């Protein structure tokens, strides 16, 4: 089975739906038309460029080239996490927290799955390693951004309560534990919803792509289950690690809250 090709005219027809949504936003003063159109333009340009790059990368198996692409993807994801925060860590803290959390969770899980489960040879084969890391980073990035934003926002709004708990002798971990739990749940809700709805409400992207490419539904389902398990574990580990690093940033060595010193309102 061959995939039905799409040309520029077909993509233009699809883009009119986005332009219609932008018009409705402008008409009703929702004020999302500008970021919506910019996001649509970025999607078109970025995917077109990465398509050209991947056509070249897939024809060779060069570890250093794949590593370079991984690094670009990871840095871009770290920047997007930092850009979505309302209460930001001062300096490059948000970028470091988000990037290191994604690297230690998503990247390590990708290597483990490629080497021991799928058993790709070599394990860094770009046809597997780049798309899988992209799916992991995209979902992990959203979970970490939501969790970090919730954590810092709640801590900022409840800082008086936290300081009262510290004054009563509670350690910092206990003083902020309820906020930590709520933030973890917020970061994991999107992937839990996706897993719960998979197959009933939606057909996830990788499964849909394999079916369109002509693979059997059974093979596509097995790969999609593997990917969902990878995404959920990567998101969970990344959220927990990022909030652990943020919690360390919020308190000094004497367990005093230092939100005003280490954080700023965007």
Distance CA 3, CA 242 (A): 40
Give the rounded distance of the alpha carbon of 48 from its chain centre: 21
Instruction: Evaluate whether 212 touches 1 at the Cβ level (below 8 Å).
Output: no
Write out pLDDT tens, residues 173-220: 888 999 999 999 999 998 898 888 877 766 677 777 777 777 787 888
State residue 259's pLDDT score.
72
Each residue's pLDDT, cut to its tens digit, for the chain (266 residues) gives: 556 777 888 889 999 999 999 999 999 988 889 999 999 999 999 889 888 888 888 888 888 988 998 999 899 888 888 877 777 777 666 778 888 888 888 888 999 999 888 888 888 888 888 888 988 898 899 999 999 999 988 988 888 888 888 888 888 888 899 999 999 999 999 889 888 887 776 667 777 777 777 778 788 888 888 888 999 999 999 999 999 988 888 887 777 887 766 677 76
Distance CA 5, CA 8 (A): 10
The model carries a pTM of: 0.80
> Residue 169 has which token pair?
């002798």
State phi, psi for 176 to the nearest 5 degrees: -120, 10
State residue 87's pLDDT score.
78
Tell me which residue of 136, 242, 141, 236 sits closest to 189, measured CA to CA. 236
């Amino acid at each position: 089975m061959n995939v039905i090709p799409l040309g520029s005219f077909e993509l233009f027809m699809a883009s009119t739906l986005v332009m219609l949504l932008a018009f409705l936003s402008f008409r009703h003063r929702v004020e999302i038309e500008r970021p919506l159109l910019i996001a649509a333009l970025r999607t078109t340009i970025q995917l077109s460029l990465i398509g050209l790059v991947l056509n070249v990368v897939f024809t060779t198996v060069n570890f250093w080239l794949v590593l370079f692409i991984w690094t670009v993807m990871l840095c871009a994801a770290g920047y997007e996490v930092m850009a979505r925060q309302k209460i930001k860590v001062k300096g490059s803290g948000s970028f470091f927290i988000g990037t290191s959390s994604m690297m230690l969770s998503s990247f390590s899980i990708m290597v483990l799955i490629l080497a021991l489960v799928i058993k790709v040879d070599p394990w860094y084969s770009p046809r597997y390693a780049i798309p899988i890391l992209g799916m992991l980073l995209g979902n992990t990035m959203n979970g970490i951004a939501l969790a970090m934003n919730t954590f810092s926002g709640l801590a900022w709004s409840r800082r008086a309560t936290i300081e009262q708990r510290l004054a009563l002798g509670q350690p910092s971990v206990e003083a902020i534990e309820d906020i930590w739990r709520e933030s973890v749940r917020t970061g994991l809700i999107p992937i839990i919803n996706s897993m719960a709805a998979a197959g009933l409400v939606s057909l996830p992207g990788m499964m849909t792509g394999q079916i369109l490419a002509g693979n059997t539904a059974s093979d596509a389902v097995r790969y999609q289950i593997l990917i969902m398990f990878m995404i959920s574990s990567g998101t969970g580990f990344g959220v927990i690690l990022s909030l652990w690093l943020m919690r360390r940033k919020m308190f000094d060595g004497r367990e005093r809250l230092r939100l005003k010193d280490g954080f700023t309102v965007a």
